[in-house]
Structure 1
């Protein structure tokens, strides 16, 4: 489920913007309505929580100030549709939470004013994802909004770092909101934390352990509690905190191996395998016989080998995938590439060495990729994962916050730690998501099969791959195995050469391509194909558009329910294709793909195969490869010296590699076999297998195309 705020305010609200509302709902009215909502609330334990995804047009920055720098105001002074810059509120939660896209509770300030507070974008690892009754919160620079109903308002918190859970002993809490003398000793807080942990209430366990630490001066006692909190943070995936707590729990005793073991696991969770190895080695020095560190150390060494060599067992990775198992336990191999400034758009990815066609350019584990393959949920799930992870593990901000956000306009304070939490700006992260995410099938190998339903795509962010600039005729191609992105070279790449990828499937017509890039990413494509086509005369471009529409219309004339295509349809498409060929100037397209010809040429190839006219099928197969930009002879009998195995060698041609190229080679295999030219068929099959490895990332069994 995806919820968004409307960009339009009710007319009645416009007159109140910036003003204190003349009337708010009373305490009794608010309590009655809240209780009625709680009675209707049904939360399935395993159901995904709805997500309120931000509207970028309504963006506002996260607060970068400490609550102690702000003027604390009462709820009664909040103004409608206003971000109260320089001000804050301190309130106590007086009701159980209502859980929806956010957490809605009723809160009370020190003067007895009551209002609604909606907190969004906190993960299940945070106690603020379901604030317990009686806790005291500080909201920094709050936004007060009208809910649409008469006299109905609430404080709405989009940025998770804008709301702070205050410790019971915090001197900033006004006296009327205090609970009175704390009855729990440090030992009692620790016991409460242990009970919460056993009950799998991990966020409350963290809170209790923190209170225990604050209430004790006994260093030995604190070391034990820190170790417990480290383990709880590890369970919650809060790896930064787990590592810090584990290292802080060391006492200098041999039992410190447990602290190093936890720190090693936390570093592994952050994919920092070198640091993980260091901590695990220290654990094994202190306890050489410990089985758990040995097992973790072996895993860590395997990841480091992958990072250093790029040697992966792709078949084992593929075999381990399932709809419920998409996160592959592998490291990222990035050493073939470097990030540098690009003359095209900002930064780009460059080859650190010569890379041959078909070789791995890089393999990257996703920075974020939720296991959500429903298209309606995938974007919201990725957004939520990014917000939650950067709040739980602020060290990730060093990588993620460098990425392009579409020009949101930042304060510079994003990622900084204020009031003990990282500043997380949800609008900046949504901008980064929209400009850098990829759609990914569970595996590209399965996705190439005709029998697999299309459209089931997850959304993920691969930070290293995000630096690659777009080209309509790229020199690399990406594929996916779960949350692993595999990039292979589609042709030879020289050291120092910029590496390009295709952001989206390329459209045949220039004006359509350019419109997509401008609208989605805000750039003008300057790849060889687009720059070349811009040299075409305007009348040629217009005529190509007209003819392509005619081809697409005529291609619908297949005889329904029969394999054979009528002669009239073949003649029509052939005539239109020849006219289209005439609209491609030789000086412009000498080395470039002719994408406007692809559909008609593929139609004629399949039509002649269906009629078992294999000589013509072979001819149109070669023409189709040429239309994708490969150096191929197109005539009737001039293929005797042609070797399809050289298709991917570096030439002056600038080809476009797609799965359709592999399919064309397979068609040529069948055609040449039928013509008795087995040597040529074998060469085409070898080329098809090589191309299929580029497309799928690892698999060379091209026969899977038929499954």
Structure 2
């Protein structure tokens, strides 16, 4: 929703067709062994050369993630699998019922995925390609040279450049073996560490922590736990592994480690603190508070605990009473800080079945326009900070849908959240109600199973394009629009909000959304009654009806709202005339900034454009409350701004009323006061808010303070949205 869909861009269509052709050619080799496999030494040499080339910084980066053949993750217990070797692998094949034991022969390289060269016990080599690994971690920390791993039911395939690789799309399909794992062949084992004590392994882990390698530290602490030792040493190891797990985002495991430590010593200071931190990161603020209260009661001098106690109480207040400081949130976000430390507030809304539409979001009480309904923290979000030098693209060859931006990163984030914190699984995966059949099993051999392709489907249908700040985006866009169609292109930045993903579509929605960093703020766009279903727009109403329906087809439905119906009734010749007139309008305003500077723009100039706007109004066949004139919004605003610069308040008033009327608003005078009745979307965007502010300012300029105050009152209903 509002993501940067580039499915119609010729440059990317060529890439899609080329990939489909490669897949078709690869299918011819299915089930066959490669005619010639390169020796391990050649593969290693080529990979090291590639690493040397990558060491030279490149000004531009273009990453493409292809969603090609969809296949389920392995659900087989390890004991049920039988081994195979590299020379046994056949192309384009999922080797079900088998596993392959590998050791890395080179350091890893990061492209779209993590690439490294591996060998098997017989000395044969091949390329290993890991996808959807944790983007926060250095690839050297994930799979350094000499790592021993098992790939369950390996997928062997040809690559786009004609070589071969063992490809792992599901993070749960690869098992990284610890140094003491009995499945490691004797000749691959590190003999120096086989007899280390638990204390020695803990010290080894501590050294890794000091160097910032928390993956290595966690593995060392896990090895320490497999060694015989006393309770005092166990307490240290559990606390240390809890710390490493916190740093790795493995909050479920951190909580388990801390709770085991508390069983060994119920008042342990570190264990209480780490349990509270894990619960805080899992958004379980109330339970986090209970651990902190135990901690400060036992250790009142612990300043960090006191600070965390205050912070957690703030989150609980936000969660219950929506006590957000939106101004402070706005001041905090920038290109370096896009993740805010706040709680999710769910207001008078609930999720339940919507007739013929799956699940939807409904009101539980009456609300007024501008009321806060939801302030939700993203499950995963990635903001694109440099879309010119770094381009990321997701190409789905099955649906022919292509999205430019950070969607691939969001998919990877969620996959790793599910793998690292399986307690989140139900809340995230329950959003999907499509036809894709995922596996029923949720874990095997004590480890979670994650279906990467299910996550891709969830994100592709439920992610939102999102600016770092809606308020800043609006200010920047005002500077650039200059009379053009006020529809903004989709965002390269992307995020997934679990609760918000349940809103159904309407071309004219009854709620509005805005963003501050990784938070989505949803407010009522008009007065609404208890029991009403709440809707957001999946695609922009500024598009014509055919364009909207084409984009909505990705969600598998045809919209038949009043706007779509009215647009279908519009004769072809009127649509053609509207398009031609809009070109004239855009050309007219193209140099409006220079007009302001030179002082050459006059009221007579504007009379011409007002005439064109009147002609544009005539191209609509239905009343504005059924067919709002969204395409005229930006031209109207530009005329209003020019009138204001020319100090023509009465013209501002007339044009602002006309513009608001074109959106379905009614502004009437009742007993010397101004009354606004809502159209289909009262305060539905920052542009309508700006119109009300211009109108209020103009009334104030001519001395009508009553009307000014009435309009300011309406504007304040949406103050929260405007500030976001």
TM interval, shorter chain, is: 0.7 to 0.9
Look up the match of 1:340: 352
1:279 aligns with 2:291: yes
Q: Please, which of 346, 353, 363 is the counterpart of residue 351 of structure 1?
A: 363
- Within 5 Å, which residues of 2 pair with 1:538-687? 540-555=570-585, 556-557=587-588, 561-562=594-595, 564=601, 570-571=607-608, 574=611, 577-578=614-615, 580-581=617-618, 583-586=620-623, 593-595=628-630, 598=633, 601-602=636-637, 605=640, 614-632=649-667, 643-644=673-674, 646-647=675-676, 657-673=684-700, 675-687=702-714
Deviation per CA, 1:194-227: give whole Å up to 9, x if none: 2212222211111111111112253432222111
- SS of the aligned residue for 1:499 comes to strand
CA deviations on 1:83-104 (whole Å, 9 max, x unpaired) are 2222221122233333433333
Aligned 8 A contact 1:119 1:157 in 2: yes
Counterparts of 1:335 and 1:426 in 2: how far apart (Å)? 32
Residue 468 of structure 1 contacts residue 500 of structure 1 at CA under 8 Å; is this kept in 2? yes
Q: 1:522 aligns with which of 531, 536, 556?
A: 556
- CA displacement 1:592-612 (0-9 Å, x = unmatched): 534465466556656766776
Matches of 1:654 and 1:148 in 2, distance apart? 49
* Alpha-carbon displacement from aligned partner over 1:363-390 (angstroms, at most 9, x marks no partner): 1112112354334353333233223322
| Pair 1:66-2:77 in alignment | yes
Distance 1:674 1:441 in 2: 35
Q: Which residue of 2 aligns with 1:703?
A: none
Q: Which residue of 1 aligns with 2:498?
A: 463
Q: Separation in 1 of the partners of 2:229 and 2:665? A: 74
| Count, aligned residues | 676
Pair 41,667 (structure 1): closer, same or farther in 2 beyond 3 Å: closer
| Structure 2 partner of 1:317 | 329
User: Does 1:82 find its partner at 2:93?
Assistant: yes
Specify the alignment match of 1:258 in structure 2: 270
Q: Which residue of the partner structure matches residue 198 of structure 1?
A: 210
Shift in Å at residue 242 of structure 1?
A: 0.9
**TM-score, L = length of structure 1:** 0.86
| Deviation sequence 1:288-310 (CA, Å, 0-9, x none) | 44332222122111111111111
Match of 1:161 in 2: 172
Equivalent in the alignment of 1:297 = 309
Contact 1:121 1:160 in 2 (8 A): yes
Change (3 A) 1:546 1:209: same
Q: Secondary structure at the match of 2:366?
A: coil
- Conservation of the 8 A alpha-carbon contact between 1:355 and 1:489: yes
Deviation at 1:30, TM superposition (A): 1.9
Say whether the 8 Å CA contact 1:628–1:657 is kept in structure 2: no
Once residues 634 and 378 of structure 2 are traced to their aligned partners in structure 1, the CA distance between those partners, rounded to angstroms, is: 34
* Aligned partner of residue 29 in structure 2, secondary structure: coil
Which residue in 1 is equivalent to 2:251? Answer: 239
Could you say which residue in structure 2 is the equivalent of 1:636?
A: none
Conserved in 2, the CA contact under 8 Å of 1:229 and 1:245?
yes
- The alpha carbon displacement at 1:391 in A equals 2.4
2:467 is equivalent to residue 441 of structure 1: yes
Asked whether the 8 Å contact 2:74–2:153 carries over to 1, the reply is yes
- Distance, in Å, in 1 between the alignment partners of 2:618 and 2:281 is 55
Deviation at 1:361, TM superposition (A): 0.7
Q: Which moved more, 1:167-176 or 1:398-407?
A: 167-176
Aligned-pair Cα RMSD in Å: 3.4
Q: 1:279 & 1:457 partners in 2: Cα distance? A: 40
Change (3 A) 1:316 1:696: closer
Greater mean deviation of Cα atoms: 14-23 or 503-512: 503-512
Correspondent of 1:95 among 69, 94, 106: 106
Distance 2:306 2:590 in 1: 66
Which deviates further from its counterpart, 655-664 or 392-401?
655-664
Query: Is the Cα–Cα contact under 8 Å of residues 110 and 139 in structure 2 kept in the other structure?
Result: no
1:26 is aligned to 39
Cα drift, residue 359 of structure 1: 1.5
- Go from structure 1 to structure 2 and tell me whether the alpha carbon gap of 1:499 and 1:642 turns closer, same or farther (over 3 Å shift): farther
Relative to structure 1, is the Cα distance of residues 526 and 275 closer, same or farther in structure 2, using a 3 angstrom cutoff? farther
Shift in alpha-carbon separation, 1:681–1:501, aligned structure 2, 3 A: same
Q: Which runs of 5+ in 2 are unaligned?
A: 1-11, 393-405, 481-487
Q: Is the contact between residue 437 and residue 459 of structure 1 (CA under 8 Å) also seen in structure 2?
A: yes
8 Å CA contact 1:336, 1:352 repeated in 2: yes
Distance 1:298 1:593 in 2: 48
Deviation at 1:20, TM superposition (A): 1.0
Report how far residue 178 of structure 1 moved.
Answer: 4.8
Q: Is the 8 A contact 2:370 2:719 kept in 1?
A: no
Q: Distance in 2 between matches of 1:420 and 1:452?
A: 56
SS in structure 2 of the partner of residue 23 of structure 1: coil
Among 21, 25, 36, which residue is 1:8 paired with? 21
Using the TM superposition, give the Cα deviation of residue 472 of structure 1 relative to its aligned residue in structure 2, in angstroms. 2.2
Deviations 1:322-371 (A, max 9, x none): 32122222111114211111125211111122222221111111211235
Q: Which residue of 2 aligns with 1:393?
A: 421
**Given the alignment, which residue of 432, 435, 456 partners 1:404?**
432
Report Cα offsets for 1:386-412 as digits up to 9, x if no partner: 233222222222221112376443223
**Counterpart secondary structure, 1:6:** helix
Q: d(CA) in 2 for partners of 1:507 and 1:388?
A: 37
- Shifted more, 98-107 versus 85-94: the winner is 98-107
The answer to whether the 8 Å contact 1:628/1:655 transfers is no
Structure 1 pair 72–508 and aligned structure 2 pair: CA distance change class (3 A) = closer
Distance 1:640 1:630 in 2: 16
CA contact (8 A) 2:198 2:229 kept: no
Task: Provide the residue aligned with 2:49 in structure 1.
Answer: 36
- Tell me the distance in 2 between the aligned counterparts of 1:68 and 1:127: 29
- Other structure's SS at 2:268 match: helix
In structure 1, what is the equivalent of residue 485 of structure 2? none
- Give the SS at the match of 1:215: coil
Q: CA deviation at 1:554?
A: 2.3
The alpha carbon displacement at 1:273 in A equals: 0.6
Q: Distance in 1 between matches of 2:288 and 2:326?
A: 24
| Aligned counterpart for 1:17 among listed residues 19, 30, 42 | 30
Aligned equivalent of 2:521: 486
Compare 267-276 and 316-325 and name the one that shifted more.
Answer: 316-325
Compared with structure 1, are the counterparts of its residues 200 and 373 closer, same or farther at alpha carbon in structure 2 (3 Å cutoff)? same
Structure 2 counterpart SS, 1:369: strand
Equivalent residues of 2:142, 2:215 under 8 A apart: no
SS in 2 for 1:293: helix
Deviation at 1:614, TM superposition (A): 4.8
- What is aligned with 2:458? 432
Distance 1:24 1:185 in 2: 43
CA pair 80-618 structure 1, distance change in 2 beyond 3 A: same
584 and 508 in structure 1: CA distance in 2 versus 1, 3 angstrom threshold: farther
- The 1:579/1:558 distance shift into structure 2, 3 A limit, reads closer
The TM-score normalised by the length of structure 2 is: 0.84
**Cα 1:569–1:243 shift into 2, 3 Å:** same
CA distance in 2, matches of 1:620, 1:685: 18
